[in-house]
Amino acid sequence: MSNKIDEKTQAERQEFYDRLAPGNIAPLWEVLKGLMPREPQSKAAPFRWRYQDVRPLLMESGELLTAEEAERRVLVLENPSWPGQSRITASLYAGIQLILPGETAPAHRHTPSALRFVLEGEQGFTAVGGERTVMKAGDFIITPAWAWHDHGNEGDQPVTWMDVLDLPMFGYFETTFFQGHNDLRHMMSRPEGDSLARFGEGLLPMDPVERYGQTSPIFNYPYERTREALLAASKGADPDPHLATTLRYANPTDGGWPMPTIATWMTYLPAGAATAPIRSTDGVIVSVAEGTGSMKIGEEEFDFREKDTLTAPGWTWRSFRATTDCFLFHASDRVVHEKLGMYREERAGG
């Protein structure tokens, strides 16, 4: 279309559009460029939440209401671009949850999947589908779709973690189901450690076991093991310029991502090291398991320390610089991009 049109033509067209609108009909040529930009233009904003700012507010919420009253006592991390929408990226939700000593977050289940990345506490537990696991800082724990789950704290210190759920995705597709349990805690049917023993030792049950459908049968990937693996792997080869030493979490039954909607990986970046910029279609959430440093997202640079959360919009250059040894947990909807043929990435310089 030529962009130079005279006033009369413009008026004629507008008059035509005005007659279309009441019938819920619209001309494509007026909106096509917005529907198909040359490349993704994320509306998300980059942001960093300092744990030292969030923690006091979380503790204050602990004085205002109990975990049981709240159902889930969580402070939602809202992307600055979408206040009130409970979204940290275009497709993912994140929040920081608190369980005080003696409390229980009551059993329920929902079709959206959740992951927990543990920040604080040694004696918190989450029970998922009849098995309990202790929650330790840095552990990556999965609540598969429609699995009963409750959380508790049997220690004398607060327990906190980051939740990431695929809620906005389910909202977009309008497919969310939720059910409360009649009991505060659901019944355990397997001993603690059963999942890791059967699926997390490089061994698998002789007969195929269907446990959680498309979700990994391991539901706690302990930080101790992840950290050890990254350190050992970093000695075996030069670090990748863009990824440093990065290992992705995997479903042992098929080698794919552990969750059907949320991809997860951990990066080890030693003190003094930096990564070259990378961009990918997925908007990314980073939780700092250990270390201090900075993350450049687009033109903005955010310094970070342990337990801070950052988010980078999709198709935006991002890179890291480590001041001390850094272990950086990542979550994104990359797994969905891959399944739907939408995933692209680009690596600069290096």
**Interface positions with ligand GTQ (CB under 6 A):** 72, 74, 95, 97, 110, 114, 149, 163, 165
**Closest-CB residue for ligand GTQ?**
163
Nearer to ligand GTQ, 114 or 244 (CB): 114
What residues are paired with 122 via a beta bridge? none
Nearest distance in Å: CB 94, ligand GTQ: 8
Nearer to ligand GTQ, 148 or 327 (CB): 148
Question: Which residues have C-beta within 8 Å of that of residue 106, sequence separation ≥ 6?
Answer: 68, 71, 150, 180, 181, 184, 185
Nearer to ligand GTQ, 114 or 331 (CB): 114
Nearest distance in Å: CB 62, ligand GTQ: 15
Tell me, rounded to whole angstroms, the distance of Cα 210 from its chain centroid: 25
Nearer to ligand GTQ, 244 or 331 (CB): 331
Buried b (16+ CB within 10 A) or exposed e, 151-168: bbbebeebbbbbbbbbbb
Nearer to ligand GTQ, 54 or 230 (CB): 54
Nearest distance in Å: CB 114, ligand GTQ: 6
Nearest distance in Å: CB 40, ligand GTQ: 27
Nearest distance in Å: CB 154, ligand GTQ: 17
